[in-house]
Amino acid sequence: MKGFALVFRALVAGPARRRPARVVLPVLGVAIGVAAGAAIHHANRSVTASFREAASAVSGRTDFVVTGIAGVPIEDLAALSFLWRIGSFAPAVTGTAVLGGASPEVVQILGVDWGGDAAVRDIRLVEPAGRAARAKLLSGGSVLVSAPFARRRGLSPGKSLPLVAGGVPRVATVGGILELSGVARAWGGDILITDLFTAQALLGRPGRVDRVDIVLDPGVSRSDTAREILRRLPAGLTLEPPGRAAATADRMVRAFRFNLNALGSLTLLVGVFLVANAVSIAVLRRRPEIATLRALGAGRSGIFAAFLLEGLGIGLAGTALGEVLGLFASRAALAAVGGTVSRIYLPAARIAGAPLFDAMALSAAMGIAASVAATLWPAWEATRVEPSPAMRPGSIEAAARRRTGRRVLLACAALAAALAASRAPAVDGFPLFGFSAVGLVVAALALAAPLLVRLASSLPGRFLGGSLPAVGRLATGFFGGTSGRNGIAVSALAMALGMTLAMIVTVASIRETVRVWVESTLRSDLWIKADAGGRSGIVGDLPAEILPLIRGMEGVAAVDPFRARETADAEGRPFTLAAGDFAVVARAGGIPLLDGRDPRRVAREARERGEVLISEPFARRFGASAGSTVSVGTEAGRRDFKVAGVYRDYSNDRGTVVMDRSLYLSLFADPRISSLAVLAAPGQDTGALRRRILAATRGRYALSISTNRELRREVLLIFDRTFAVTRALEAIAIAVAVLGIANALAASAVERRRSFGLLRAIGASGGQIRSATLLEALLTGATGTLAAIAAGAAFSALLLGVINPQSFGWTVALRVPTSSLCGAAALVLAASVLAGVLPGRIASAVDPAAALQEE
């Protein structure tokens, strides 16, 4: 043990103490990776936890939940009355309301069976209601609000609370303040609880509830009861375990979350490359010491363990620092991710921060494990050092060269495997193999990198021959000479930049595709939705009676009421069921069909034949196509509908089945409208029409009306916001990779002291040495960039051709935003050269006399 302590001190601790700067960069790299990982993981966990928390708070002690696409007709509750002998059930109405004022916000409304609901959910008032308060509550129109919500908005019992629900401005009265426990925990307390009838009235949905929660007595067989419930339930209603809602919500954002996780891991991966790099350098530099120690009888395992400990040390230090950074980063990431989720997916979702501990523990474990794993190879190489004292300089590189063939073979195998993986279908709607292919390309990159470095270093000489200036020759010599180390730096950069380039291509392609799609789809002049408090997307819905009102207005040519409800197939895979007026489509078009047929004719025929249109993501996810049938659970039971056509849709990755409104209304007693598209009469000024509609509905309805142009802008705005986090992560990964270049060069500068001393002695100026180092940096950057372009092309192909269609179901037209790509590449090249500045200084400052004196 004592012996090992000395080995460790000689090889690791001592040098680290002497040159602490050497470990600063890898520590920093791991720290950034760990911080990004922790932040992203935490944000993702928070999203999932918030969904789960909200769902479990709302579900309470529920064993089963009964739901229906358009809710559960209240009469159908009678079918469940047999349950009273073995448990209880509690119907509930859910919806959203928009609270106005200086800071509009969206809150969840939950209407329950007062009194009876206690069997399922805990609704606890901060102070037990006095008798007067009870009476008020019973008289309807009162809502209970959570304590934090009341504090935030300055509410107390008896105060009135103006809100927009169901597209209509209303005033509720605060009936009591809830403890932040039980159901009030949902969405961090952003929930209004009221009696079921008041909720129905607020949301304009009389005669329906949205869910029925069933709690069985202890000892009652769940499965037998489930069967019995299903036997008695009217057609069109479904029975689910309570976690389903959270799982569905989670699934909605799964692809989004996964993208973030992948990018978060990329950052850590780049950090790991830095560790591998640093330890390889350490091994190279300390070969004489290793040889001496071996000669003195140190075993291979001791050497191995010493370097592994170095990796562990770097991992620990980086992780510790990363956790501190993560504390700050997680706040920013949570805000960004939570914002996106509530903006795009669930408007009433307030994403509360989950406990940080799990995310930090996981990222710490990953940071440390990855650092140690990154050390395995260099540490093993260290054990290969023979105790013979006279190792010739360069012989390691020679050995590396001998391994080239094997590495190239492996790289080719990885590429072949990647190609095979890219052909494999999604696993449970998840592009597992697609992501595996990305991983394999990364592996191929890492394997081939040293060869790339040597190739790149020989190119200038080959093309310029003797006319290559001495500085250039020096740079290429240095660059190619340490192909192993530079290979790591190059592949880290190629990976980070390649992923970034691919993301740029992907995002640009999707954005352009969406833009074109929006142009061709958004034909309407005005788009009306319930006031959403300034939010994009749809919050709440509108009463059906607004339809004739708008339709009858002067200057309105046609109105297309759109209705969308979330549902799921028999296996619980979520999709959207929508209804629109196919008669309007038959006139105006606006649903671009995949096969290029005229949507007007297809819509007309679908309307006549009672057929449906499906979106492209639906077609992909459910394997449906024009001519096949899709099954929809209606209020009259599951019904099959023939698919008239598949249309392009980029607004929803779950997939949509859309039917004519008249067909929808015959299947569901759900006349409400999610949004309303208005076609103006020819020559009608849309601004004037909007003013007229607003004037005609003022006081009665709370509407938000966008013009065509505003809506288009909004769509792209949402799009850009969604990818904001992605951009930040890419930038971080690149920054870490550039640090890697700086690290490799700095290490080389230190290692090549003797060479630099000699160069100075034979007449090289400091400037020449600096230039050579900068040139080497440029070469590293350029090779990395070239590799990144190749990798980026592969990543782009995988993202656009495999991962994106498999996870979103979208066909995306490739668009290569040359200027952005060039910009990114130029930026990275410039950053690489900058990364050479400090190493250049170290190199040129070498005192030749001292350097040449050293052994």
Partner 1 sequence: MKTLSRLFAGAFFLAAASSPVSFPRDHGTHADAAVEWWYWTGHLASEDGRAYGFQLTFFRVREMHLAHFAWSDPSAGKFAYREKTHLGLPGIAGASAERLDVFNEDWFARDREGEREREGVQRLHARSPEGELTLALRAEKPPVLHGASGISRKGPGPDDYSHYVSIPRLSATGTWIVGGKTRQVHGTAWFDHEWGPGALPAGAAGWDWFAVQLSDGSELMLYRMRLAGGGASPFSSGTFIPASGPPRTISWEDVSLTARSTWTSPHSRAAYPSTWSLAVRSLELEATISPLMPDQELSTQQSTGVTYWEGACRVEAKRGGRAIGGRAYVEMTGYAGRDVPGFGP
Partner 2 sequence: MSSDPVEAPSVSCRALSKVYAGVEPIVALDGMDLDVPAGEFLALVGESGSGKSTLLHLLGGIDRPSDGSVRVGAREIGSLPEKDLVLYRRREVGMVFQFFNLLPHLTVQENVELPRRLDGQADAAAKARDLLERVGLGRRGHAHPYELSGGEMQRVAIARALSTGARLLLADEPTGNLDSRNGGDVLSLLDEVRRERGVTLLLATHSEGAAARADRVVRMQDGRIR
For partner 2, the binding residues (CB under 8 A) are 392-395, 397-398, 466, 469-471, 473-474, 477-478, 480-482, 754-755, 757-766, 768, 847-849, 852-853, 855
Query: What is the number of other CB atoms lying within 10 angstroms of the CB of residue 773?
Result: 30
Buried b vs exposed e over 364-394: b needs ≥16 C-beta within 10 Å?
Answer: bebbbebbbbbbeebbebbbebeeeeeeeee
78 near partner 1 (CB under 8 A): yes
Strands of the sheet with 574-580, listed across from one edge? 629-634, 637-647, 612-615, 656-660, 574-580, 556-568, 675-680, 526-530, 703-707
β-bridge mates for residue 574, sequence order: 568
Q: How far does the chain reach from its first CA to its final CA, in angstroms? A: 30
Q: How far is the CB of 143 from partner 1 (least distance, A)?
A: 15
134 near partner 1 (CB under 8 A): yes
Residue 339 interacts with which of partner 2, partner 1, none, CB < 5 to 8 Å by class: none
Closer CB to partner 1, residue 176 or residue 353?
176
Closer CB to partner 2, residue 103 or residue 853?
853
Closer CB to partner 1, residue 135 or residue 822?
135
Distance CA 620, CA 611 (A): 19
Residue 469 interacts with which of partner 1, partner 2, none, CB < 5 to 8 Å by class: partner 2
Q: Is 600 exposed, middle or buried (0-12, 13-18, 19+ CB in 10 A)?
A: middle
Closer CB to partner 1, residue 74 or residue 797?
74
Contacts with 405 (C-beta within 8 Å, 6 or more apart), sequence order: none
Tokens 């880290």 found at: 492
Token digits for 690? Answer: 């909007």
E strands, 604-654, in order: 612-615, 629-634, 637-647
77 near partner 1 (CB under 8 A): yes
Residue 466 interacts with which of partner 2, partner 1, none, CB < 5 to 8 Å by class: partner 2
Distance CA 708, CA 677 (A): 10
β-bridge mates for residue 634, sequence order: 637
Among 74, 320, 468, 793, binds partner 1 (CB under 8 A): 74
Closer CB to partner 2, residue 156 or residue 765?
765
Among 17, 20, 101, 138, binds partner 1 (CB under 8 A): 138
Distance CA 399, CA 395 (A): 6
DSSP per-residue codes, 335-369: HHHHHHIIIII-TT---PPPPHHHHHHHHHHHHHH
Closer CB to partner 2, residue 547 or residue 772?
772
Helix (H) or strand (E) holding 298: none
Distance CA 216, CA 539 (A): 34
Stretch in the footprint of partner 1 (CB under 8 A) among 110-118, 218-226, 577-585, 719-727: 110-118
Closer CB to partner 1, residue 143 or residue 352?
143
Closer CB to partner 2, residue 475 or residue 828?
475
Stretch in the footprint of partner 1 (CB under 8 A) among 71-79, 274-282, 284-292, 431-439: 71-79
Stretch in the footprint of partner 1 (CB under 8 A) among 112-120, 510-518, 623-631, 732-740: 112-120
830 near partner 1 (CB under 8 A): no
Q: How far is the CB of 759 from partner 2 (least distance, A)?
A: 8
Are 120 and 87 in contact by the 8 Å Cβ rule? The answer is no
Distance CA 112, CA 70 (A): 18
Residue 130 carries which DSSP code?
P
76 near partner 1 (CB under 8 A): yes
Query: What is the number of other CB atoms lying within 10 angstroms of the CB of residue 288?
Result: 12
35 near partner 1 (CB under 8 A): no
85 near partner 1 (CB under 8 A): yes
Among 598, 582, 604, 588, smallest CA distance to 660 is for 582
Residue 138 interacts with which of partner 2, partner 1, none, CB < 5 to 8 Å by class: partner 1
Q: How many CA atoms lie within 13 A of 349 on its CB side?
A: 29
Stretch in the footprint of partner 1 (CB under 8 A) among 137-145, 278-286, 398-406, 761-769: 137-145
Among 16, 203, 167, 256, smallest CA distance to 94 is for 203
Residue 800 carries which DSSP code?
I
Among 6, 13, 16, 118, binds partner 1 (CB under 8 A): 118
Q: How far is the CB of 834 from partner 2 (least distance, A)?
A: 24
Residue 154 interacts with which of partner 1, partner 2, none, CB < 5 to 8 Å by class: none
Q: How many residues bind partner 1 (CB under 8 A)?
A: 28
64 near partner 1 (CB under 8 A): no
Radius of gyration of the chain (CA): 32
Closer CB to partner 1, residue 139 or residue 629?
139
618 near partner 1 (CB under 8 A): no
Residue 849 interacts with which of partner 1, partner 2, none, CB < 5 to 8 Å by class: partner 2
Distance CA 37, CA 371 (A): 14
Q: How far is the CB of 774 from partner 2 (least distance, A)?
A: 16
E strands, 54-167, in order: 64-68, 72-73, 87-99, 105-112, 142-146, 160-165
Residue 131 interacts with which of partner 1, partner 2, none, CB < 5 to 8 Å by class: partner 1
Residue 116 interacts with which of partner 1, partner 2, none, CB < 5 to 8 Å by class: partner 1
Residue 81 interacts with which of partner 2, partner 1, none, CB < 5 to 8 Å by class: partner 1
Q: How far is the CB of 780 from partner 2 (least distance, A)?
A: 15
Residue 234 carries which DSSP code?
P
114 near partner 1 (CB under 8 A): yes
Q: Where are the alpha helices (DSSP H) in 752-844?
A: 753-761, 766-798, 804-807, 818-835, 837-844
Closer CB to partner 2, residue 482 or residue 675?
482
Q: How far is the CB of 852 from partner 2 (least distance, A)?
A: 6
Among 8, 51, 64, 89, binds partner 1 (CB under 8 A): 89
Residue 124 interacts with which of partner 2, partner 1, none, CB < 5 to 8 Å by class: none
Evaluate the CA torsion angle 463, 466, 469, 473 in order and state its sign: positive
Token digits for 478? Answer: 């240095």
Among 84, 218, 423, 819, binds partner 1 (CB under 8 A): 84
Residue 427 carries which DSSP code?
B
Distance CA 61, CA 218 (A): 12
Among 3, 20, 101, 116, binds partner 1 (CB under 8 A): 116
Token digits for 339? Answer: 């914002």
Closer CB to partner 1, residue 197 or residue 380?
197
Closer CB to partner 1, residue 88 or residue 652?
88
Q: How far is the CB of 764 from partner 2 (least distance, A)?
A: 5
Distance CA 794, CA 799 (A): 9
Residue 168 interacts with which of partner 1, partner 2, none, CB < 5 to 8 Å by class: none
Residue 423 interacts with which of partner 2, partner 1, none, CB < 5 to 8 Å by class: none
Q: How far is the CB of 209 from partner 1 (least distance, A)?
A: 8
One-letter amino acid at 599 equals: P
Residues in the chain, overall count:
855
Q: How far is the CB of 10 from partner 2 (least distance, A)?
A: 23
By the criterion CB under 8 A, which residues form the site for partner 1? 74-81, 84-85, 88-89, 91, 113-116, 118, 131-132, 134-135, 138-140, 195-197
